[in-house]
Structures are given as structure tokens and as C-alpha cells.
């Protein structure tokens, strides 16, 4: 039996574990991984909370189809696919992925771009939760890897996009995206919100910051219009004063991962899709939509894929992330 290597968290440390390559099952494909994406906030949090049980890290990747099980009709050996969703997708040399969690990658999409499909699906679902309509104004608070992606996709949807982050270098990453107004100064951002909305306030704020307690949960209510929305996307503990919510009859929403199907064993483990007519946008269909946006060049994710690390060097990379010795939003692991 051939073995694979994968990256796990155990006892608050990062390790490389070895295990047998999983056996093929009906409605699953076996992928030889080419790239996976490090999501620093999520993975460092998992590392810090890990015990003596090995927990695989990672959730967004792409690779080449090696084999497919009974019921699979949309791929052949050698096809490239993008995939998303732990525990099926992780930082491992081979991945066994159900048919509901992957999509084919066309020649017009680079391998590194495709590896971000999980990030893309999460960003798309967050915007769907906000239920914005064409022409409305959205504020993206926090420009980590997820905030960057949300801002780009919101801009492609022709919303009025205003973004902010305290780090100038993160704001600068959106400089080439025409239509996005990004600020490192909160007062300047607030002025832009009210200028763009004739003083009414934004239709929605998406909070993409980390940290359990964030002052943005209070401030965001001041930036929205009457009956506006605040969507929690990052790892933030909801803490909203009633008077501000009551005064605007604000709507508080939480976005959970990449869309309907996430954490549902029937959809994921059993690979049974939801009916298209009843659940239009599942996590799998959101993955495919991200690939379409990249393929048609409606979004430019090149600024997000400038750094990569070889699998053999990945332990040192995680150590740098843990010690905050790198400001890189993400790195791609090359297999």
C-alpha cells in the first residue's frame, strides 16, 4: 500500500504525518495534489487548540485526477480539479474528495489560481448571505485573504465597494482593482461611505477581522443605513449593543463557510447533492462559480498567489506564521 504525507496539528505543534493512500469509493475521486492554500488565521487557531489527537490542516486545494469511483462521469484521468472542504481536503499529497466538493479547472485558469477555490467559495457565500442587490453599497472590514477575495468579487458584482484595514500594505493590494475604494484610515473610510450613499450609510458591512472581541462589531452598526445588515465572516464573537441595533432595526447575520452543504454528512460524506431547483447555490456550485470568475477574468487573484513554499519546507513556514515573522496573507504549498 502506498503512503502519503499530510500536515497535522498535535499538542499545539505542526507535524507531518504518514498514512496509507485512501481506497477509492463510489462517487469519490482520488486527486494527486499540486497546490493547497494556507489559511493562517484558521490554521493557527486549530494549532493552538490542538490536543494529542492529530488534526489535519487545510481546506482549499487543487490537483490532478488519478482515479475515480463508480458514479463519477464528469472527469477523466489527468484532468485538473479544484476542491474545498475539510476533512476531505487538507494539506496532503493525495486527497479523496466526494463529487459534491470539486469542480473541473479549465485551461484558462492557472493551477495556483484554482487552489484558492475554497477561499473563493467562502467569499461568495458571505456575499450571498448579505443578500445585496445590484448597485448597493458594501463595506469590507478587514483585508486578510478572505476580505481581499470578498472585495474583489463584490466589485465584479458591481456593488459600491468600500474596504478598510489598518495595514497599509493590505490596502495597497487592492490598488489595481478599479471600483474598490480601500482605506487604512477609518475616518477617511467613514467619509467615503457617507459620500457614496448621500449620508444614508452602507447597505451592509462584512466583518472579516479575527480576534474574539472586536471594536468593529460596535462601529459597523454606525456605518449602515436604517434596516442595514452586518455579516460576521471572521472569527469574531458577536457583541452588539441593543440601542444601536434597535435604532436602525439592523439585521445581524453570520456566514458559515462555503455555502449550503457544509458540515452536512449527507451532502459531503455521502456525496448526495441538493436539488438544483431547491438549493441553487451549494458549496460545490460556489466553488464552480469562483472558477468561472477567474476563467472569465472578472476577478484578478494574482496578488494573492505571489508566495509559495515547497511541502518539504512547510514546517518552518508554519513556525514563522506562529511567531508572526511574516506578513504574507497566505502561501501556497507546492507538492
**pTM value?**
0.95
Alpha helices in 87-241 (DSSP H): 111-115, 117-130, 145-156, 168-172, 186-196, 216-223
Model confidence at 43: pLDDT above 80: yes
Average pLDDT over residues 276-282: 97
What is the distance between the alpha carbons of residues 201 and 79, in angstroms, rounded to a whole number?
47
Instruction: For residue 121, tell me if it sits in a domain.
Output: no
For position 139, which CATH number holds? Answer: 3.40.50.720
250 and 131 assigned to the same domain: yes
What phi and psi values does residue 84 have, to the nearest 5 degrees? -150, 145
| 132-164 residue pLDDT tens | 999 999 999 999 999 999 999 999 999 999 999
200 and 307 assigned to the same domain: no
| 62-119 residue pLDDT tens | 999 999 999 999 999 999 999 999 999 999 999 999 999 999 999 999 999 999 999 9
101 and 10 assigned to the same domain: yes
At 31 the pLDDT is 98
**For residue 327, what pLDDT band results from cuts at 50, 70 and 90?**
low
Average pLDDT over residues 296-312: 95
What is the distance between the alpha carbons of residues 90 and 55, in angstroms, rounded to a whole number?
10
At 216 the pLDDT is 77
At 241 the pLDDT is 81
What phi and psi values does residue 292 have, to the nearest 5 degrees? -60, -45
In order of 262, 292, 306, 327, the CA distances from 7 in angstroms are: 22, 30, 22, 21
At 279 the pLDDT is 97
Q: Which domain holds residue 242?
A: 126-254
Burial 269-305 (b: 16+ CB within 10 A, else e): eebebbeeeeeebbbbbbbbbbbebbeeeebebeebb
- Number of separate domains in the chain: 2
At 213 the pLDDT is 64
65 and 154 assigned to the same domain: no
User: Which contacts (CB < 8 Å, 24+ apart) does range 54-57 have?
Assistant: 54/8, 54/9, 54/10, 54/15, 54/17, 55/8, 55/9, 55/10, 56/6, 56/7, 56/8, 56/86, 56/87, 56/90, 56/91, 56/92, 57/7, 57/8, 57/9, 57/14, 57/90, 57/91
Question: Which residues, including other chains, have CB under 8 Å from residue 333's CB and lie 6 or more apart?
Answer: 7, 35, 36, 37, 38, 58, 91, 308, 309, 310, 311, 314
Instruction: For residue 179, tell me if it sits in a domain.
Output: yes
- Return mean pLDDT, the chain: 94
In order of 101, 221, 227, 241, 249, the CA distances from 246 in angstroms are: 40, 10, 10, 9, 5
At 231 the pLDDT is 96
At which of 209, 233, 254 does a domain end?
254
Model confidence at 242: pLDDT above 90: no
What is the distance between the alpha carbons of residues 131 and 220, in angstroms, rounded to a whole number?
17
At which of 195, 230, 254 does a domain end?
254
| 203-227 residue pLDDT tens | 999 999 876 666 777 899 999 999 9
Contact 8, 57 (CB under 8 A): yes
* Burial class of residue 133 in the structure, from the number of CB atoms within 10 Å of its CB (0-12 exposed, 13-18 middle, 19+ buried): exposed
At which of 197, 221, 254 does a domain end?
254
**For residue 320, what pLDDT band results from cuts at 50, 70 and 90?**
confident
At 326 the pLDDT is 58
At 25 the pLDDT is 96
At 45 the pLDDT is 85
Amino acid at each position: 500500500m502506498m503512503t502519503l504525507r499530510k500536515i497535522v496539528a498535535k499538542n499545539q505543534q505542526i507535524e507531518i504525518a504518514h498514512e496509507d493512500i485512501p481506497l477509492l469509493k463510489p462517487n469519490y475521486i482520488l486527486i494527486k495534489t499540486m497546490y493547497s492554500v494556507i489559511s493562517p488565521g484558521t490554521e493557527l487557531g486549530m494549532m493552538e487548540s490542538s490536543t494529542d489527537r492529530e488534526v489535519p490542516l487545510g481546506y482549499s486545494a487543487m490537483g490532478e485526477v488519478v482515479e475515480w469511483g463508480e458514479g463519477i462521469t464528469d472527469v477523466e484521468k489527468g484532468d485538473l480539479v479544484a476542491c474545498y472542504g475539510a476533512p476531505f481536503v487538507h494539506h496532503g499529497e493525495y486527497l479523496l474528495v466526494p463529487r459534491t466538493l470539486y469542480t473541473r479547472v479549465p485551461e484558462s485558469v492557472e493551477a495556483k489560481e484554482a487552489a484558492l477555490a475554497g477561499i473563493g467559495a467562502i467569499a461568495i457565500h458571505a456575499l450571498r448571505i448579505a443578500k445585496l442587490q445590484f448597485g448597493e453599497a458594501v463595506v469590507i472590514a478587514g483585508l486578510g485573504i478572505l476580505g481581499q477575495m470578498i472585495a474583489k468579487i463584490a466589485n465584479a458584482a458591481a456593488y459600491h465597494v468600500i474596504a478598510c484595514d489598518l495595514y497599509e500594505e493590505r490596502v495597497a493590494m487592492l490598488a489595481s482593482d478599479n471600483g474598490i475604494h480601500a482605506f487604512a484610515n477609518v475616518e477617511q473610510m467613514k467619509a467615503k461611505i457617507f459620500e457614496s450613499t448621500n449620508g444614508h450609510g452602507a447597505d451592509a458591512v462584512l466583518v472579516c477581522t479575527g480576534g474574539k472581541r472586536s471594536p468593529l462589531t460596535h462601529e459597523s452598526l454606525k456605518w449602515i443605513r436604517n434596516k442595514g445588515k452586518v455579516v460576521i465572516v471572521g472569527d469574531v464573537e458577536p457583541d452588539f449593543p441593543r440601542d444601536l441595533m434597535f435604532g436602525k432595526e439592523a439585521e445581524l447575520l453570520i456566514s458559515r463557510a462555503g455555502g449550503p452543504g457544509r458540515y452536512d454528512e449527507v451532502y459531503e460524506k455521502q456525496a448526495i447533492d441538493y436539488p438544483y431547483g431547491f438549493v441553487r447555490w451549494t458549496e460545490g456550485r460556489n466553488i464552480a462559480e469562483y472558477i468561472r470568475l477567474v476563467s472569465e477574468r472578472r476577478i484578478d487573484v494574482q496578488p494573492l498567489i505571489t508566495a509559495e513554499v515547497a511541502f518539504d519546507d512547510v514546517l518552518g513556514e508554519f513556525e514563522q506564521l506562529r511567531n508572526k515573522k511574516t506578513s504574507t496573507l497566505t502561501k501556497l504549498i507546492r507538492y
